[in-house]
Amino acid sequence: MIRSMKGLVKALALGLAAACSLAAISSANAEELSLKGKRIGVSAIGTDHYWDLMAFKGIQDRVKELGGEVIALDAGRKDQQQIAQLQTLIAQKPDAIIEQLGNLEVLNPWLQKIRDAGIPLFTVDTATPHAINNTTSNNYNIGAEIALQMVADMGGKGNVLVFNGFYSVPVCKIRYDQLKYVLTSFPDVKIVEPELRDVIPNTVQSAYSNVTDMLTKSPEKGSIGAVWACWDVPQIGATQAVEAAGRTEVKTYGIDGSPEVIKMVMDPKSSAGAVAAQQPYEIGKTSVDNAAKYLAGQKVPPFTFVPSVLINKENAAEKGKPFLDAAEKAGVK
């Protein structure tokens, strides 16, 4: 416990230092790092979401940039397929494996097998004891920040519709737990029970109809103050539903920073209140750098945080643009 606290403090300090000298370090390391002659296996549960696709692309681009060969596997959101791909991947004996998201309960025994086979394992946005390094955003911060923004916009009281369909996904668990923790200080903000379930696929449509139903159930204006989701695809459906119902007093909150949602937050008339924008492409690239460092015999911390930015109604015009530019540059819509 104490050790992990120490580790956290150390990592936060490291992250701060790294952020300060980010430009200097990355240009210096880029020349040293190499994956020449190395094969890197990459397994992603799916790439149907902006975040997933950007991270998956960042990993592949970086491996190629460093001269390595990449075995890229997209499980198409099917657990069975991801397990089969990992099993075959272990037999292929790559120099390292980078795993991106998925159901931890399903994955953990197989991640263990990767380590048992002596293959270094790195993860993207997936906290597991089996990984040498997990590269991700600081989801503790993100979760607290978006929750505080929501509470502030609500004036410290009101009812919140919460999508909680992916508590088994580690980052969603952290963000949801942070939301709950923040709300302990604001007893007048209440989560409407039962919570809503976001789903994959048909996330937007399903969120739209869920929120529409709830608004119909609570027809008085002001009876619902906000909608929260641990990612931003349900936020799209929720925002559309709120606007269609003419209940613009309800604001929506989400995490990830898909270009579509950033544009919504930038639009002063939209009900999208805020979104915590991550840098998935950078996260993917950074995880490859960590793998390259490890393979070169350097020490690698157990986790690396890539900075994220809270985009709200006040700062959207200024802060949103760089993210939209990055998306355009990577050629991902």
Asked if 324 touches another protein (CB under 8 A), the answer is no
Whole-number Å distance between alpha carbons of 258 and 189: 27
Residue with Cβ nearer another protein (14 or 83): 83
Tokens of 242: 């709120």
Q: Which positions from 129 to 168 touch another protein by CB under 8 A, shown as an x/- string?
A: ------------------------------------x-xx
DSSP 275-308: EEE--HHHHHHHHHHHHHHHHTT----SEEEPP-
x/- mask, another protein, residues 105-134, rule CB under 8 A, reads xx-xx-------------------------
CB of 112 to another protein, least distance (A): 11
> Do 238 and 228 meet the contact criterion of CB atoms below 8 Å apart?
no
Q: Please state whether 125 falls in left (phi above 0), alpha (psi between -120 and 50) or beta.
A: left
- Asked if the bond preceding 201 is cis, omega within 30° of 0, the reply is yes
Structure-block tokens of residue 20: 């300060």
Task: Name the residue nearer to another protein (CB basis): 114 or 250.
Answer: 114
Q: Kindly state the smallest distance separating residue 203's Cβ from another protein, in Å.
A: 12
Decide if 120 contacts 90 (C-beta within 8 A).
no
Instruction: Decide if residue 220 touches another protein (CB under 8 A).
Output: no
The stretch near another protein (CB under 8 A) out of 64-72, 155-163, 215-223, 284-292 is 64-72
Considering only CA atoms, which of 291, 304, 299 is closest in space to residue 114? 291
Number of residues that bind another protein (CB under 8 A): 30
Verify binding: residue 193, another protein, rule CB under 8 A. no
Minimal distance, residue 18 CB to another protein, in Å: 33
Nearest to 18, CA basis, from 310, 255, 289: 289
Residue 30 or 117: the one with the smaller Cβ distance to another protein is: 117
Question: Which residues are at the interface with another protein (CB under 8 A)?
Answer: 69, 71-81, 83-85, 87-89, 91-92, 103, 105-106, 108-109, 165, 167-168, 197, 199
